[in-house]
């Protein structure tokens, strides 16, 4: 499963956000991987808009696995002051963005359709 989410960083704190993410704690990196967060990336726009992308078997399960780790609680507490919306821990305030197109999925579908058409001919 592919997951895209968005949030926002306070524009005046973007440099601090980038600094912290340039050296994420090794324990946090391992916890993310162990919880099933794969191919995980964060993108930060000049206005503070944060876009995240990850691949996992099940997002709710991967998120729940992180929620029970001590390192995640510490990391979220460290990051909370940088986000524009601090009512929730940062990882609980992500807005999931619907995927409407994926090249590989459509190529695979087109290939299957083409194969079926050849078989019927």
Each domain of the chain, given as residue ranges in start order, spans: 2-120
Tell whether the model's pLDDT for residue 119 goes beyond 90.
no
- Determine the pLDDT at residue 114: 76
pTM over 0.95: no
Whether residue 78 contacts residue 13, with contact meaning beta carbons closer than 8 Å, is answered with no
**CA pair distance 114, 85, nearest whole angstrom:** 48
**CA pair distance 1, 77, nearest whole angstrom:** 28
pLDDT averaged over every residue in the chain: 95
Residue-wise pLDDT tens digits, 38-72? 999 999 999 999 999 999 999 999 999 999 999 99
Rg of the chain taking only CA atoms, in angstroms: 18
Residue 24: burial class (beta carbons within 10 Å; 0-12, 13-18, 19+):
exposed
| 113 sits in which H/E element | helix 103-120
Confidence band, pLDDT 50/70/90 cuts, at residue 32: very high
Residues annotated catalytic, as ranges:
21
Kindly report the CATH number that applies to the domain delimited by 2-120: 3.30.70.100
């Amino acid at each position: 499963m592919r997951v895209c989410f968005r949030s926002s960083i306070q524009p005046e704190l973007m440099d601090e956000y980038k600094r912290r993410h340039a050296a994420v704690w090794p324990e946090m990196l391992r916890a993310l991987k162990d919880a099933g967060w794969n191919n995980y990336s964060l993108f930060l726009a000049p206005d503070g808009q944060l876009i995240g992308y990850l691949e996992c078997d099940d997002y709710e399960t991967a998120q729940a696995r992180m929620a029970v780790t001590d390192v995640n609680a510490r990391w979220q507490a460290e990051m909370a002051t940088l986000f524009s919306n601090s009512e929730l821990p940062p990882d609980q305030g992500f807005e999931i963005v619907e995927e409407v197109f994926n090249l590989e999925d459509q190529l695979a579908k087109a290939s299957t359709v083409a194969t079926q058409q050849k078989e019927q001919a």
